[in-house]
Amino acid sequence: MSDDRPDRPPAAGLVEALRVRRNATVGLGVGTALALLVYLVRTFELLGPNAGTQRYPVIGPEGWFLVLGVVLASATALLVTAALTAATAVRVSRRL
């Protein structure tokens, strides 16, 4: 079977032009900082005690909030990375 596709530039050039690595690093930092802040506020009740009487099975409230913190950090990192990459793509396309 022959390769009938035309030659394409490597994807690494696009990733580099859109500065995806830098955007992912910034996104990871923002996501981690936000998750840590929310975790500390909730775990140490910095805004006052929780009025609810919920039960937290198996790993306790700190464990559940840690798991939620990881989810929040990864979702925020993905959102920030996507937004920064889209903004970079718009800037690069306007220069062309």
Tell me the mean pLDDT per 10 residues along the chain, length 96. Answer: 65 88 96 92 77 76 88 96 96 90
In this prediction, residue 30 carries a pLDDT of 96
Q: Is residue 53 part of a domain?
A: no
Q: Is residue 1 part of a domain?
A: no
Q: Is residue 79 part of a domain?
A: yes
Domain enclosing residue 66, as ranges = 20-48+60-95
Q: What is the DSSP string of 20-43?
A: HHHHHHHHHHHHHHHHHHHHHHHH
pTM of the model: 0.75
In this prediction, residue 51 carries a pLDDT of 65
Q: How many domains would you assign to the chain?
A: 1
